[in-house]
């Protein structure tokens, strides 16, 4: 007889945990970077449209699949397809993907932790030095940071769903919001900050191009953790009286709010310290924005508010990003952990030990691929670029396979599990759902245009990354 499945202790706990899984580096920095380079308000408008029209139905489908099966993605696909091996393979892809994403995400989280420590000790001059990032990512202290991050994640996950994931989210998510809002209030008092606000909030419809549409759609899809198996797994931890429709809406609102507020932080700060900046000059990389560009802004801030206040603001920012990364990392690792518990019969502690052993080895190798080991640094080449082990993991599992997993969940609920079963599950805890306009929209969209759009994301991503072809310019 199997042990009774763990559940979240409250609706708020589930909302914060699910939102914490979605809120990460992509929201805090990736969203502002993409908004800056894709027309500001035009990008924001398209992003909001896609969250409602595309992402919300997929979120509801993932939660419903997880709750109905009360299993991880492999078990859920297996049970709901009556053991069809093809769909179990699709579920396995949703286990491997978050495991590999956790590898590179661990490295990024460690970098953020090191930057937080440096900002806390007032090392802004060093962090703003162009050589600092290269030195830090090849520093032996990286592995001490890796142990610290691993210990924090282990401490949260070993306590389980209610006492670990939920409690951690209840502490970190409110703290994240408070820090973010305080920083926004400060930034909006700076000279020329309103130029950044105007650029971000006032959409210029003429800037809505195919490239902007594609970028907004990809950002919305990725930032809500779709295709990672997280919402399937978290959905398996909610009770039958939970209203999935309302929960998905609240998660989407929370996640989008963080991205929106982050835009109000980063873009006004950029315009304040460089009034003549051309947003297209910004790096496409969230990594470059966090670790190269923003430290220069914090250093320049010293002239206005002094050394101690500037250092405190920088420390709060990096702590904010660290919390965002940590909540995401917890949820990402929980997916393969749930798989080992459900499918392999391991205890939570043994499952975590297995994940941390193999994940730790791969994360250490990925960290070595920034110049410390030549073979790992120049492992292969595609799309006209030389790629490291870190690059390959990021390109393959984050950029490429996520939309593929999203496509598979749409096809599964519409054509294998069937729409009537999806609607029946979504009506649990929400009896009026089947009669609503949203139910009809979810029915129609998941089986028609959403899979097509997600397939387009997948195809354009493959063309851009592996062949160097930018289909939308």
C-alpha–C-alpha distance, residues 462 and 420, integer Å? 34
Per-residue pLDDT band for 284 (boundaries 50, 70, 90) equals: low
Prediction pTM value: 0.93
pLDDT of residue 281 exceeding 70, the answer is no
Average pLDDT, the chain: 90
* Helix, strand or coil, per DSSP, at residue 310: helix
- Is residue 49's pLDDT more than 90? yes
At 84 the pLDDT is: 94
C-alpha distances in Å from residue 388, one per residue of 272, 282, 323, 372, 379: 36, 23, 27, 11, 5
- DSSP SS3 for 350: helix
* DSSP class per residue in 411-435: HIIIIITTHHHHHHHHHTT-TTGGG
Measure Cα distances from 180 to 27, 119, 259, 322 in Å.
12, 17, 10, 12
Which of 38-42, 174-178, 365-369, 438-442 shows the lowest mean pLDDT across its residues?
Answer: 38-42
Task: Give the C-alpha separation, 297 to 447, whole Å.
Answer: 47
Say which range, 63-67, 186-190, 365-369, 386-390, has the weakest mean pLDDT: 186-190
In this model, does residue 236 exceed pLDDT 80?
yes
Q: Over the stretch 119-167, which tens digit does the pLDDT of each residue have?
A: 999 999 999 998 999 999 998 889 999 999 999 999 999 999 999 999 9
Give the CA angle between residues 248, 89, 57 to the nearest 5°.
20
Q: Which domains does the chain have, with CATH numbers?
A: 11-467 (1.10.4160)
Using an 8 Å Cβ cutoff, are 203 and 34 in contact? no
Q: At 380, is the secondary structure helix, strand, or coil?
A: strand
Q: Report CA torsion sign: 78, 81, 82, 87.
A: negative
10 Å Cβ neighbour count for 231? 30
Is pLDDT at 450 greater than 60 in this prediction? yes
Q: What is the pLDDT of residue 280?
A: 61
What is the rounded average pLDDT of the residues 234-240?
Answer: 95
Question: Is residue 379 very low, low, confident or very high in pLDDT (cuts 50, 70, 90)?
Answer: very high
* Residue the block writes with tokens 């709060």: 316
Residue 1, pLDDT score: 38
Q: Do you know the residue count of the chain?
A: 473
Is 255:179 a contact under the CB 8 Å cutoff? no
Query: φ, ψ for residue 386 (rounded to 5)?
Result: -80, 135
């Amino acid at each position: 007889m199997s042990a009774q499945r763990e559940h979240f202790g409250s609706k708020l706990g589930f909302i914060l945990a699910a939102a914490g899984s979605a809120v990460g580096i992509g929201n805090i920095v990736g969203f502002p970077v993409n908004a800056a380079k894709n027309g500001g308000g035009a990008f924001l408008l398209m992003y909001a449209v896609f969250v409602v029209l595309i992402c919300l139905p997929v979120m509801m489908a993932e939660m419903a699949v997880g709750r109905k099966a009360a299993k991880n993605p492999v078990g859920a696909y297996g049970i709901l397809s009556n053991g069809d091996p093809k769909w179990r393979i699709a579920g396995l892809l949703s286990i491997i993907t978050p495991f590999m994403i956790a590898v590179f995400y661990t490295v990024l989280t460690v970098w953020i932790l090191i930057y937080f420590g440096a900002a806390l000790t007032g090392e802004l001059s060093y962090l703003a030095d162009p050589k600092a990032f290269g030195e830090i990512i090849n520093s032996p202290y990286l592995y001490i940071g890796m142990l610290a991050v691993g210990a924090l994640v282990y401490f949260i996950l070993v306590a389980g769903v209610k006492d670990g994931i939920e409690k951690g989210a209840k502490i970190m998510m409110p703290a994240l919001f408070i820090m973010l809002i305080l920083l926004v209030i400060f930034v909006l008092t700076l000279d020329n900050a309103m130029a950044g606000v105007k650029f971000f909030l006032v959409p210029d419809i003429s800037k809505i191009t195919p490239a902007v549409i594609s970028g907004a759609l990809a950002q919305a899809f990725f930032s809500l953790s779709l295709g990672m198996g997280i919402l399937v797994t978290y959905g398996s931890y909610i009770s039958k009286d939970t209203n999935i429709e309302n929960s998905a809406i609240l998660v989407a609102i929370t996640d989008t709010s963080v991205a929106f507020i982050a835009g109000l932080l980063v873009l006004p700060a950029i315009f304040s310290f460089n009034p003549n900046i051309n947003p297209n000059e910004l790096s496409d990389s969230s990594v470059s924005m966090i670790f190269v560009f923003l430290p220069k802004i914090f250093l320049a801030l010293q002239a206005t508010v002094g050394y101690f206040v500037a250092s405190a603001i920088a420390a709060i920012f990096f702590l904010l990003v660290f919390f965002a990364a940590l909540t995401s990392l917890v949820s990402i690792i929980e997916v393969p952990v749930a798989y080992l518990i459900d499918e392999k019969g391991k205890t939570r502690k043994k499952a975590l030990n297995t994940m941390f052993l193999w994940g730790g080895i791969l994360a250490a190798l990925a960290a070595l691929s920034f110049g410390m080991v030549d073979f790992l640094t120049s492992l292969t080449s595609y799309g006209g670029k030389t790629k490291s082990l870190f690059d390959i993991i990021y390109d393959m599992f984050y950029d490429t396979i996520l939309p593929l997993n999203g496509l598979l969940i749409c096809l599964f609920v519409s054509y294998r599990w069937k729409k009537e079963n999806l609607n029946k599950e979504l009506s649990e805890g929400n009896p009026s759902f089947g009669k609503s306009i949203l139910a009809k929209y979810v029915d129609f969209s998941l089986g028609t245009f959403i899979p097509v759009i997600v397939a387009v994301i997948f195809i354009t991503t493959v063309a851009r990354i592996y062949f160097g072809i930018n289909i939308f310019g």
